[in-house]
Structure 1
Amino acid sequence: MFHAINTAFYVGHLKPAPGTWGSLVAVLVGWAIEHFLGHAGFPVLAILTLVVTALGFYTVGQELKDRPGDDPGEIVIDEVAGQWLALLFPAMGFWMRDVPMVWPGPVAAFLLFRLFDIWKPWLVGRADRRGDAAGVMLDDLWAGLFAGIITVILAGLYHGVMMR
């Protein structure tokens, strides 16, 4: 059961680039939650992000307990948690305006999350180098945090500066 959860119900077995597949499925599911649940979408997505994150720390820890230093590519629950964290930033902005999230927000969150997850700057790389199950989750959470912040900054620049 841990493997099914850790691979986001086997999405992590898609080739090539299972992390990108996991992130793509995560952003589409997250966007659907936000969109189809209306005003309740953002709070539900926030709660599910916390649940998936906590679940990921536990299930990844269980699956890798006898494999220290291992970070198998098929484990993508970390991408789901990180991608949903990144998606929360634009989702909150749209939620505060009481309108459904439109395409630039989720697309920017997806692209920036993948950039930070692959590039692994600063705290993302430090977490990745931990070599333990917590590091598997933490590098994607840092990538999601950075992607979410940059998404909001870009939205602010576009709407506040470029649209004047």
Structure 2
Amino acid sequence: MNTAQLIGTVCGVGHLRPAPGTWGSLAALPLAWVLHTVGGFPLLVVATLVLFFAGLWATRIMTKGQKDHDPSEIVIDEVAGQFIALWAISYPSWAHGIEITALWPGWVAGFVLFRFFDITKLGPVGWADRRGDPMGVMLDDVIAGVFAAIGVLVLAGITHGVMGL
């Protein structure tokens, strides 16, 4: 396996079946926990940016000359998008000194919402996916991650604000 394949498949996670995208999203969870634990929200943001650009490069290499612009084994995009979804819990944890595992409902919501937006390709997520190029491969998951993060924030607001829990 060459470097682009290692990055694109997240060390082979993208070859797991069924649903390699879901496996990629699941792999992102412990990675995000480690990054947050080591360096807080700032490290998670930096890692997300590095993964985005590394994923863009790997996707270009892996799809060059191929008809399939988004092969299922490329899951680095899911990891980057899942990281963005988790920004919604990483920032408050870091900013307020809350143990990130105490925000476990946000982990669950971030995972479920990210998978929902990534699979359904609603609105701009679908637009990015239809680009048919490496940027589209990465961008649809970034947008799905942003939507999921917003969803986590809305759910937290309802739970802690409206319901007072």
State the TM-score bracket (shorter-chain normalisation).
over 0.9
Aligned length: 161
Q: Secondary structure at the match of 1:134?
A: helix
Counterpart in the other structure of 1:151: 152
1:68 and 1:131 in contact (8 A); partners too:
no
Other-structure match for 2:52: 53
Give me the whole-angstrom Cα distance separating, in 1, the residues matched to 2:33 and 2:163. Answer: 26
Identity of aligned residues (%): 50
Contact 1:68–1:132, Cα closer than 8 Å, also in 2: no
Which amino acid in 1 is paired with 2:27?
A: V
Structure 2: any 5+ residue segments left out of the alignment?
Answer: none
In the alignment, residue 11 of structure 2 is paired with which amino acid?
F
Where do 5+ consecutive residues of structure 1 fail to align? none
State the AA in 2 paired with 1:159. Answer: H
Give runs of ≥4 in structure 1 deviating > 2 Å. none
Q: 1:7–1:76: 8 Å Cα contact kept in structure 2?
A: yes
User: CA offset at residue 46 of structure 1?
Assistant: 1.0
Alignment of structure 1 residues 121-132 onto 2, 5 Å? 121-132=122-133
Amino acid at match of 2:158: L
Q: Distance in 2 between matches of 1:155 and 1:28?
A: 22
Q: Please list the CA deviations of residues 34-60 of structure 1 after superposition, one character each: whole Å capped at 9, or x if unmatched.
A: 2x32xx321111110110011111111
Do the aligned partners of 2:55 and 2:76 also contact (CA within 8 Å) in 1? yes
Residue aligned with 2:125, SS: helix
* TM-score between the two structures when normalised by the length of structure 2: 0.93
AA at the equivalent of 1:162: M
Q: Which residue identity does 2:9 align to in structure 1?
A: T
- Would the aligned equivalents of 1:69 and 1:132 in 2 still touch at CA under 8 Å? no
TM-score by length of 1: 0.93
Q: Which residue of 2 aligns with 1:27?
A: 29
Aligned residue identity for 1:61? R
Q: CA deviation at 1:32?
A: 2.9
The answer to whether the 8 Å contact 2:4/2:59 transfers is yes
After superposition, the CA RMSD in angstroms is 1.3
